[in-house]
Each structure stands twice: as structure tokens, then as C-alpha cells.
Amino acid sequence: MKRILLLVELFTFGALHAQQAFTLRQAIDYGRSHSPTMAIAANDQRKADAMAQEAVAGYLPQINGSGQLDDNLKRQTTILPAGIFSDQPTAVQFGTQYSTTMSVTAEQTLIDVAQLNGIQANRPNLAMAEIKMKQAEEQVVYDVAKAYAQVQTYREQVKLLDENSKQYDELVPILKLRLEKGVVQQLDVDRVEVTQRNINSQRTLAQANYEVALAQLKRAMGMPLQENISIADDVRSATDMRQPSGSSFALTNLLSHQYNAQSELLYGIDLKRKRNAWLPTLSAYGRYGAQAMGNDLGASFDNMFDFATVGLKLNVPIFSGLRRSSQIKQSEIALDNLREQQRNANLGFELDYRSADTRLLSSTSTVTNDEDNLRLAERVFANTNLQYQQGLASLSDLLNADYQLKEARNNWTTSVLNRSIAVIDLEKAKGSLLAYANTL
């Protein structure tokens, strides 16, 4: 029974800690659901909804209650003119020791153009929050895809170095056997062992880079770093690599351009709001309350006198010490600056697209050339290794062929990474990264 329980525990532990292999699409979908960036953007969107409700609330009825208790410690004295109660002016005090007033006031704005402009700002505000949500998603997709490509590259480097190390693991024993027979010198064995140790060091470094890149991928996905995962997609050949989408460049497709357009609309509404602040405002109000008075606090509440009032309130701005005109000038300048910034940003968007397109063409050509060169270097090394074992090539020839092979492998893995990043850079520059991610 103890053995059975132990086996069950080991099986459970292994199942919980088994590696989960993520494809690029699965990693992106996980990031969309778990990234803190997405959670923050969702909170900002809910905040924009609350701000919209706040803006509308200003045009809804406002109801307030108030109460006031006065203890007239020393009542104010008023002089009545002569002839009312006596031939001489008479000093009198009105009111009671205690006075209590309670009322409820309801007010409804009827005309306030500036406040209506504030409500109009809800539309661009909500649109900007939605665009920021998409921008956050786009950034998550970009970060995950870039980190995934780096993990692929370092894993491929580890794989290639393992193959290279395996070749030397087979070569060293052969050389040592030849050394015992006096066919080769100790110097040849030492040179090969030095190369073998260098490969092992390079492999250790590549493995460390792989672990760091994997941790960066988990961070981009919003996954706890202690989770044990791996990637499922292998590095593709030059002829089988993912191709960019066929969409063309258009400013209207860019989320940043859409955000800037809504921002300009918002600035324009704010300018209208400040200009319309000069217009009169009209509101209706009603008030109902009661008043209690007396010289004894407790007994004063026995005499309650209610009152009610309805009316209209008109407010006409006349002079504000040039404050409003200064605010209008500031808003006009801010709007002009925003338009210039957007014009400069549009030039930057187009430059980013042209640069990304150029890098993609260059990296595609480079990865094709490096892949062909890698195959050639592999054939040269295999033939040189065979000739060396047959005594037809020197050790120097073998080491040179090995050096060229390692250089070709490094160039190929680097060009594969650059090409993968160039694709997502181009999709982001075109504003089609989200749509492209859905096709993976």
C-alpha cells in the first residue's frame, strides 16, 4: 500500500510539473488573457465609462438636503425710527434664542451649452479608451512574438552546438587511439580537445541565453516565471517561413493615427466648451423646508413652519478678469500644436513602414543566402571529416571546416531571428499585426 501511495504521489507531482509546450498562437492567446498590460487597459476602459456617466450626470436633476441650527447667543439690535412706537428711536431685538431650518432643494439645468459640449466629449473619450485597449493587445502580441522568436533562435543554437559537440565526442577517442599508435602527435589531440571545450562553453552560454529568453517570454505572456514551459514551434526553413500579410500601408489602419484623430476631436470640443462658457445658463429649481423657532431648544421644535419655493435661475457671464479669453487662447495654441505633432507623427509612421519593409526584404535575402551557405558548410565539414579519417586531409583542414560551419550556423540563426522580427515589425507598421496574429 505504501508503494502504491508513493507511485500515486510521484505521478501527481510529475503531472503537475510536466512541461506545457506552447505554439506561437497559444502563447499569444495566453498573453491576451493574462498580461497585466491588458488588465490595465481594461481598467482604463471602465474608467472612461465612469467618466462618461459623470459628464451626463451634470445635466440630470441635482437634489440636495440641508439643515442649520442657530443658537443666537446675542441677538442683533435694530433701531426703529421715531414715530413708530414712540417719539424717540427705539432699540429692539428680533428673533428667538434658537432657530432651526431644514430644506430640500432640487435643481435641473435647462440650458448650458458648455456642459453639453462636455457630454459630447464622451464619444472621443470612449473611442480613445477602446483604441488604447487594442494598442495594449497589439503590444502584447508584438512582445510575445518577438520573445518567442528569440527562444526559437537560442534553442536552435543549443541544438546545433549539441550536434557539433557530438561530432567531437566521436573524434577525440579516435585521435587518442591514433596517438597511442603514433600516427598523430599530442599537439593534434590538444588542439581538438581545446576546440571541444570551446564548443561546450558556447553551448553553456547558449543554454543560459535560452533560459533567459524563455523567462522573457513568460513575462511577456503574463505567466509566473516559476512555471515550467517549452515552445512547440520549430525554426522554419527559408522556403517555409511565415510570410507577411498582403495588406498595404494606410494611415487610417494605424491605431496610433486613430488615437491621434480622436485626440484632435477632443481638443476641438474642449475649445468649443471654453468658448461657449460665455453663454448664459438657465436652470429651474424648487425648494421645500421647515423652520422652527423658540427661546427653549426643546420647545422650539413644537412650532414648525414649512415653506416652499420654485423658480428659475439665470446666470449671465459678463466679465471674468480676462480668465476665459486666456483659457481660449491656450486651447487654440494647444490644438495647433497637436495638429503639428500629428503631422510629424504621420511622417514617422510612413518612415517606420518603409524601414520595416526594407529590413524585411534584406533579411529575407540574407536568411536564404545564409541557409544555402549553412548547407554548403555542412557538406564541406562532412567531406573534410571523412577525408581526415581516411588520412587525405590534415587536422588544420578539419578545424578550418569546423570553424566555417560554426560561423555559418551563427549567421543563419541570427538571420532567422532578424527575419522573424522584421515580419512583425512590418505588420505593426502597417497596423495589421492583430489580424496577422489571428492567422498564425
Residue-level pLDDT, tens digit, the chain, 440 residues: 445 444 444 444 444 446 799 999 999 999 999 999 999 999 999 999 999 998 898 889 999 999 999 988 888 888 878 777 777 787 777 778 889 999 999 999 999 999 999 899 999 999 999 999 999 999 999 999 999 999 999 999 999 999 888 888 888 888 888 888 887 888 888 888 898 899 999 999 999 999 999 999 999 999 999 999 999 998 888 778 888 888 889 999 999 999 999 999 999 999 999 999 889 999 999 999 999 988 888 877 888 889 999 999 999 988 877 888 899 999 999 999 999 999 999 999 999 999 999 999 999 999 999 999 999 999 999 899 889 878 888 888 989 999 999 999 999 999 999 999 999 999 999 999 999 999 88
> Could you give the CA distance from residue 50 to residue 61 in angstroms, rounded to a whole number?
18
| Amino acid 18: pLDDT | 60
| Amino acid 149: pLDDT | 94
| Amino acid 185: pLDDT | 85
β-strands 229-231, 20-22 pairing: parallel
Q: 146: Cβ–Cβ under 8 A, 6 or more apart, which residues?
A: 220, 421, 424
| All cell numbers assigned to 145 | 512574438
SS3 content of the chain, % helix, strand, coil (to 5): 65, 15, 20
| Amino acid at residue number 173 | P
> Could you give the CA distance from residue 292 to residue 304 in angstroms, rounded to a whole number?
5
| Amino acid 262: pLDDT | 95
> Could you give the CA distance from residue 144 to residue 213 in angstroms, rounded to a whole number?
11
| Amino acid 258: pLDDT | 95
Locate the domains of the chain by residue range: 18-59+112-279+322-437, 67-73+92-110+284-316
> Could you give the CA distance from residue 121 to residue 101 in angstroms, rounded to a whole number?
40
Is the domain 18-59+112-279+322-437 a CATH 1.20.1600.10 member?
A: yes
Q: Helix 395-430 and helix 186-221: axis angle, to 10°? A: 10
Question: By three-state DSSP, how is residue 19 classified?
Answer: coil
User: Of 394, 412, 268, which Cα lies nearest the Cα of 328?
Assistant: 268
> Could you give the CA distance from residue 232 to residue 20 in angstroms, rounded to a whole number?
9
pTM of the model: 0.84
CA-to-CA dists, residue 150 to 230, 297, 308, angstroms: 13, 81, 76
Q: Helix 113-120 and helix 122-181: axis angle, to 10°? A: 30
Place of cell 482604463: 44
| All cell numbers assigned to 315 | 446666470
| Amino acid 143: pLDDT | 96
User: Of 295, 291, 292, 303, which Cα lies nearest the Cα of 73?
Assistant: 295
